[in-house]
Amino acid sequence: MTDDFIAAVRSGDTARFALLTERHRRELQVHCYRMLANVEDAQDMTQETFLRAWNKRESFRGHAALRTWLYRIATNVCLDFLDRRRDRTPLPSGFEVPYLQPYPDSMLPEDPQESVVARETIELAFIVAVQHLPPRQRAVFVLRDVLGWPASKAADTLELTVASVTSALQRARVTMRAQLPAPRLDWRTPTTHELSTDERDVVRSYLDAHERNDLTTLTSLLRDDLRFAMLPDPGTVITTATDAVDGWRSGGLFRPGRDDWRGIATTVNRMPAAALYLRTAGDPGYRRFAIAALHVVDGKIAELTGFDATDTPWLGLPATL
């Protein structure tokens, strides 16, 4: 492949260049998502990576694999973007990351070997924790602990010394351990991406409770120490099931005879999720309302992260049912 790519570069064959780089789009997009936590930004920066790769094509000498070369470009594209975003985007606070979006599993790399990542490194809690790292630390951490690059390769990519990379990684690991929930500190342990029976059952019960406006059953699915957040609204992180239910009740949700719910079981960030559709009085159809990403522990929902889904065509879900 390296020889083919060099030939495409030397001949200026744009079609061949695009064909050889395009096969890496999905994994590069996941890489950008880990850096940016936003699907739309990740898509844009992946496209910018390909444009920059074409403009820098003469710099490719075949000393590293094409994939490695593209990852280096993508990392620096994301760092440039983060420098621009820093001036206009609030910093993360706790679990609140205003720009966070769920990542549709349909957009993940199809080949598990190409995806490189285990389940934990795309899960929402992990993505949120990464956002608490300064950009350079974030890049070092992703390159070293997610992609498994040696310190020398990471240092070359970021134009740092090996000592600086090692120091940044140590600081990043401390922050990650402080941010991640206690049961999930070892993000480097591979796990299956298949949903468990508990997860499938909980999603089914969660959807059924919505469709029956059954707040009692919904409450029974929640752990007492539930962590709930509704994004992108600020200040909505709740850390008990009682407070979450009280908030839903006071917000006027789950009113039999008024709210009519339908739902679709799906997955985002390799987590069980529910796409919720709401039909209110006088409305002829069910309109896409929210995506609820669920982290299930021992048959109950430990974390529920809701995302406004009224205008998210990139999820690949119908706007109405």
Q: pLDDT tens digits, residue range 187-205?
A: 555 455 578 899 999 999 9
Q: Where are the alpha helices (DSSP H) in 131-277?
A: 135-141, 151-158, 162-179, 197-211, 215-220, 241-250
Report the candidate in 193, 231, 232, 269 with the shortest Cα–Cα distance to residue 30: 269
- Are 58 and 9 spatial neighbours (Cβ–Cβ below 8 Å)? yes
Tell me the domains of the chain and their CATH numbers: 2-184 (1.20.140.160), 197-315 (3.10.450.50)
Higher pLDDT, 58 or 49: 49
Q: What local confidence, expressed as pLDDT, does residue 185 receive? A: 53
Quote the pTM value. 0.86
Measure CA 190 to chain center: 17
Higher pLDDT, 47 or 196: 47
Report the candidate in 207, 213, 136 with the shortest Cα–Cα distance to residue 168: 136
Distance CA 268, CA 34 (A): 14
Percent of the chain at pLDDT exceeding 70: 88
Average pLDDT over residues 221-241: 81
Q: pLDDT tens digits, residue range 85-109?
A: 876 565 666 567 888 999 988 888 8
**Residue 281: pLDDT over 90:** no
Considering only the C-alpha atoms of the chain, give the largest distance between any 2 of them, rounded to a whole number of Å. 68
Tokens of 18: 């695009």
Higher pLDDT, 272 or 119: 272
Q: pLDDT tens digits, residue range 123-159?
A: 888 898 999 999 999 999 999 999 999 999 999 999 9
Average pLDDT over residues 23-51: 95
